[in-house]
Amino acid sequence: MGRSRRTIPEELLLLALDPTTGTTAQPQSLDLGLAGAQLVELALAGRIAPDGDRIAVVMARPTGDPTLDSALELLRRRGSPVRAVHWIGGPRLGLRQTYLTHLERCGMVHAVAGQMCGVLPTTRYQATETAISREIRARLDSAIRTGVPPDPRTAALAALAHAVGLGKHLYPGNEGRSSRSRLRDLIRHDPMGGLVAHAVMDVQNGVGAPSRRPQAASAGAVRQPASRAAADPAGAPGQSRHGHGRMARVGAR
């Protein structure tokens, strides 16, 4: 995979960055969306394919993108198709920071150090290539405005943007209500993007998660939150479930 093309995780993160404050919108659900965006990118690269509600590796050859290849290798090691909701519901462990660091190396953002309450160190990320962010946003706006079915990458990006709740960030207020509705409708234009987007929303809603209780538990046992035992797609330490750790604070203040 050539690096001349931005990946869907990179584009999703650029969409989420506030150009004024340098913070990321919807930081907790964004971590889930980035894991889902990796699946979509691997599918577009021909490495994985949907198998019902599961993800199957169809070609284990590396893509050339280290972060994607780490996710691909972990999927391969599973040995059998894994449910998308279980993969996305696993611990994110610094995935957002991994992509922010990559965007900084590529010169698309720059880090700005600061402090919270005059004590706690924080890092914000300001976009430096604003033309790129505008181009990404223009693709979404065009798909929403024209109603013409978008290309698979844009359709998947729209589905993920809706799934993580970026609609209210991109199209705020009552005036943006119709645009948010049309953004949601774009989910139907890409099967893989739709599968992953629904899995992201299911994880947030606690749907489809395996019970942590043994089979012999009483029939009245309530369903437990999504499994956190799945392997980390990025392989970078520093963040606990759903991004509530140190890494969640970086670039998200």
Chain segment 149-189, per-residue pLDDT in tens: 899 999 999 999 999 999 999 999 999 999 999 999 998 88
Distance of alpha carbon 242 from the chain centroid: 12
- Report how far residue 22's alpha carbon sits from residue 202's, in angstroms, rounded to the nearest whole number: 28
Distance of alpha carbon 116 from the chain centroid: 26
Give the rounded percent of residues in the chain with a pLDDT score beyond 70: 78
For residues 54-63, average pLDDT? 96
- In this predicted model, what pLDDT tens digit does every residue of 198-251 receive, in sequence order? 999 999 998 865 544 433 333 333 333 333 333 333 333 333 333 333 333 334
Q: What is the pLDDT of residue 147?
A: 79
Q: Look at the pTM and tell me if it is higher than 0.85.
A: no
- Report how far residue 34's alpha carbon sits from residue 103's, in angstroms, rounded to the nearest whole number: 14
Identify which has the larger pLDDT, 233 or 10.
10
Give the rounded percent of residues in the chain with a pLDDT score beyond 90: 51
Q: Is the pLDDT of residue 142 over 90?
A: yes
Q: What is the pLDDT of residue 118?
A: 66
Q: Is the pLDDT of residue 10 over 60?
A: yes
Tokens coding 45: 């690269």
pLDDT band at 117 (very low <50, low <70, confident <90, very high): low
Q: What is the pLDDT of residue 90?
A: 87
Distance of alpha carbon 175 from the chain centroid: 26
- Report how far residue 143's alpha carbon sits from residue 134's, in angstroms, rounded to the nearest whole number: 14
- In this predicted model, what pLDDT tens digit does every residue of 74-103 receive, in sequence order? 999 998 999 999 999 988 678 998 999 999
Q: Is the pLDDT of residue 11 over 80?
A: yes
Q: What is the pLDDT of residue 219?
A: 34
Q: What is the pLDDT of residue 24?
A: 87
Please tell me the total number of residues recorded for the chain in this structure.
Answer: 253
Q: What is the pLDDT of residue 28?
A: 83
- Report how far residue 202's alpha carbon sits from residue 143's, in angstroms, rounded to the nearest whole number: 25
What is the DSSP track for the chain?
Answer: --TTSPPHHHHHHHHHB-TTT-PBSSHHHHHHHHHHHHHHHHHHTTSEEEETTEEEES--S--S-HHHHHHHHHHHHH-S-EEHHHHHTS--TTHHHHHHHHHHHTTSEEEEEEEETTTEEEEEEEES-HHHHHHHHHHHHHHHHH-PPPPHHHHHHHHHHHHTTTHHHHS-TGGGHHHHHHHHHGGGG-HHHHHHHHHHHHHHHTTTPPPSS-TTS-TTPPPPPPPS-SPPSS---S--GGG-SHHHHTT--
Q: What is the pLDDT of residue 65?
A: 94
CB-based contact 187:215 (threshold 8 Å): no
Q: What is the pLDDT of residue 115?
A: 64
Identify which has the larger pLDDT, 140 or 121.
140
How many alpha carbons fall within 13 Å on the CB side of residue 144? 23
Q: Is the pLDDT of residue 121 over 60?
A: yes
**Among the listed residues 174, 175, 130, 144, the one whose alpha carbon sits nearest the alpha carbon of residue 22:** 130
Q: Which residues pair with 57 in a beta bridge?
A: 48
pLDDT band at 8 (very low <50, low <70, confident <90, very high): very high
Q: Is the pLDDT of residue 63 over 80?
A: yes
- Report how far residue 223's alpha carbon sits from residue 7's, in angstroms, rounded to the nearest whole number: 35
